Chains A and B, each alone.
Chain A
Amino acid sequence: MKKFFNSIKSFTVVFIAVGLILLALGGYLSPVLVALTRPFLGAQEWISSRYIAVNQLLNAPQDVDELRVRNIELENEVARLQSQIIILQEQLEESQGLEELLGYARTRPQYQYAAAAVIGKDPSPFLHYIIIDHGSDEGIRRGMPVVTQSGLVGRVDAVTAGAARVQLITDPASIVNVKLQTQAVNAQINGSITGEINLDMVPQDANLEPGEVILTSGLGGNYPMDIIVGQVITVRKFENELFQTATIQPIIDYSQLQAVLVIKNFRPVDTTPLIPDQTE
């Protein structure tokens, strides 16, 4: 009898369990399950949030330190990259300048050029000279003309093994024989202590006007011909004087010179033996 009741009890339990499973699988127990688990979920959420807060409180200082270190590392990285950008920009500008010089050299293939960087300026306020980083070791000799892609710079005045000093055409002692682009008129330009270039020896009958382009004439043998020097800005013409004069706007900004080309296969002609001695 007892066995019978036990088997009925077991059967009932199994029946109820299977029934509950079937009801659950069928979705009929969801509201009941939600109602039953809600209080537990709320409690679990409260415990979890308190645990996270306590955990953050305990671990936060370490994180801040780590973040600070990381921030410093990133700032260093940014600074390094910024300096790299500046270096690359400088290299780009330099290569653009050299590319322009190369372009100029290609347009005049009859000359051999040596590209040189400008490394200094004469300290005297009266003199307009630059120092370049090429010297006799690279075949630079005294008297060689110096140009850029824009026009005439000057000529080599003194040479050492690794550097050379270049007299700019703005130097007060510099004289260059020039011609006007549109007329068959020869003249000469002189530098000055303030760096201005003056055009002189222009005959009174020449039609000199602002905007006229001035080129080297090649006379005297110191410079090759047809290198641009500058443009006429103002003309001074007085009837009681033999020649007209003018102020020239140089084609090059001599304060910003970074690289130049030395014409290596142009040798200046020494005309001093041909000039008669005035003491005789």
Chain B
Amino acid sequence: MRKILILFFVLIIAMLQLGIFSNIQILAGKIDLLMLGVIAWIIQKKTEFVDVIIYSIITVFFIYLISAEPVIIILSIYSILVFVVFWSKNNIQQLPIVSMLIFSAFFTFLHLVIFGFYLQLSGITMVAEEVFQSVILPSIFINLIAAIPMYLLVNELHRWVYPLAEEA
């Protein structure tokens, strides 16, 4: 039941990202709802590692379906994200909301920098300053705005899903 709910939630998030949130831009920066969803899911207190892995695999699969971004980059970023955020939750995290904000900014930056390098290596000419000003900074900003609502949404969903699992 829990896994079906996770699948259903990721599906809704992917549809919202594809249909609505990909159109919302600050300069060239976009919200990455799917990544925010993964971070918000991991930093919840009761989340089990198996569920995190399932959630992340489903997310990567959906991104692979909808985006032209190379799957190797998505897979690398999400692998790093899962392990770093999960480790942080168990060893450092005091306030989940602060973790949410920090990791949202950090992984947006990391994701875009790595993908930017990949594009540069693929032969696409880009000016680093322009990329930073038009894509990376606006994306970090817009993801920070979306991070708190996403955290609250996942928090509510988490409360709803885990008692169900305990009952089952």
Tell me whether A120 and B124 are in contact in the complex, defined as CB-CB below 8 angstroms, given that A193-B130, A193-B131, A195-B28 are known contacts: no
Measured in the bound complex, the distance between the Cα atoms of B118 and A173 in whole Å is 12
Q: Chain A residue with minimal CB distance to B23?
A: A121
Stretch at the interface among B64-72, B83-91, B94-102: B64-72
| Distance to closest chain A CB from B59 (angstroms) | 11
| Distance to closest chain B CB from A194 (angstroms) | 5
A134 located at the interface, meaning its Cβ lies under 8 Å from any Cβ of chain B in the complex: no
CB <8 Å contact, A255 and B23: yes
| Distance to closest chain B CB from A256 (angstroms) | 10
CB <8 Å contact, A125 and B34: no
Most chain B beta carbons < 10 A, residue from A119, A124, A195: A124
Q: Which of A122, A125, A193, A255 contacts B66 (CB 8 A)?
A: A122
Question: In the complex, how many residues of chain B place their beta carbon closer than 8 angstroms to a beta carbon of chain A?
Answer: 33
Chain B interface secondary structure, helix, strand, loop or mixed? helix
A127 located at the interface, meaning its Cβ lies under 8 Å from any Cβ of chain B in the complex: yes
Question: Hey, what's the 0/1 contact readout for A118-150 against B, CB within 8 Å counting as 1?
Answer: 011111111101010000000000000000000
Measured in the bound complex, the distance between the Cα atoms of B70 and A127 in whole Å is 11
Within 8 A of B (CB), among A74-132: 119-127, 129, 131
CB <8 Å contact, A125 and B29: yes
CB <8 Å contact, A131 and B66: yes
CB <8 Å contact, B19 and A123: no
Chain A interface secondary structure, helix, strand, loop or mixed? loop
CB <8 Å contact, A193 and B28: yes
Within 8 A of B (CB), among A250-277: 255
Measured in the bound complex, the distance between the Cα atoms of B29 and A117 in whole Å is 25
A157 located at the interface, meaning its Cβ lies under 8 Å from any Cβ of chain B in the complex: yes
B134 located at the interface, meaning its Cβ lies under 8 Å from any Cβ of chain A in the complex: yes
Residues of the B chain whose Cβ atoms lie less than 8 Å from the Cβ of A124: 30, 67-69, 115
CB <8 Å contact, A122 and B67: yes
B56 located at the interface, meaning its Cβ lies under 8 Å from any Cβ of chain A in the complex: no
A179 located at the interface, meaning its Cβ lies under 8 Å from any Cβ of chain B in the complex: no
CB <8 Å contact, A127 and B19: no
CB <8 Å contact, B69 and A127: yes
Measured in the bound complex, the distance between the Cα atoms of B33 and A50 in whole Å is 71
CB <8 Å contact, A123 and B130: no
CB <8 Å contact, A125 and B139: yes
Most chain B beta carbons < 10 A, residue from A125, A167, A193, A255: A125
A158 located at the interface, meaning its Cβ lies under 8 Å from any Cβ of chain B in the complex: yes
Measured in the bound complex, the distance between the Cα atoms of B32 and A165 in whole Å is 19
Q: Chain A residue with minimal CB distance to B115?
A: A126
CB <8 Å contact, B124 and A123: no
Residues of the A chain whose Cβ atoms lie less than 8 Å from the Cβ of B131: 193
CB <8 Å contact, A121 and B116: no
| Distance to closest chain A CB from B127 (angstroms) | 9
Residues of the A chain whose Cβ atoms lie less than 8 Å from the Cβ of B18: 119-121, 123, 131
Q: Chain B residue with minimal CB distance to A191?
A: B124
Q: Which of B34, B122, B135, B138 contacts A123 (CB 8 A)?
A: B34
| Distance to closest chain B CB from A278 (angstroms) | 13
A172 located at the interface, meaning its Cβ lies under 8 Å from any Cβ of chain B in the complex: yes
Tell me whether A121 and B22 are in contact in the complex, defined as CB-CB below 8 angstroms, given that A172-B124, A193-B131, A194-B28 are known contacts: yes
Measured in the bound complex, the distance between the Cα atoms of B139 and A193 in whole Å is 13
Residues of the B chain whose Cβ atoms lie less than 8 Å from the Cβ of A160: 65
Known: A123-B34, A123-B67, A127-B69. 18 other contacts (CB 8 A): A119-B19, A121-B22, A121-B23, A122-B22, A123-B32, A123-B66, A125-B28, A125-B30, A126-B115, A157-B68, A158-B68, A165-B68, A167-B68, A172-B126, A193-B28, A193-B126, A194-B28, A194-B134
